Amino acid sequence: MITYKPLKTMEEMECVSEVESKVWGMSPIPTHQTATAIKNGGIVIGAYDEQNLIGFSYGFAGFNNR
């Protein structure tokens, strides 16, 4: 069964980077960038098959005039 949860820790961001590298075959988004986005209104949702991160969705906030 696939489960989903918001990711928040640097450890979780490192797992996101690993998935990103495997899927795209190139350098991932730096973990400090995703962590900064999360602290400023963004979100990363992880998809897990048991304990294994198998996918994610990454969104960040965009503000107009602030």
Total domains present in the chain: 1
The mean per-residue pLDDT over the stretch 52-64 comes to 90
* Contact call for residues 45 and 28 (beta carbons, < 8 A): no
Q: Output 52 or 63, whichever has higher pLDDT.
A: 52
Structural domain of residue 29, as residue ranges? 2-59
- The overall average pLDDT reported for the chain is 91
Residue 64 within a domain: no
Tens-digit pLDDT profile for residues 30-49: 999 988 889 988 999 999 99
Identify the band that residue 66 occupies on the pLDDT scale cut at 50, 70 and 90: low
Residue 6 within a domain: yes
Residue 21 within a domain: yes
User: Which amino acid type is present at position 33?
Assistant: Q
The pTM assigned to this predicted structure is 0.83
* Contact call for residues 31 and 13 (beta carbons, < 8 A): yes
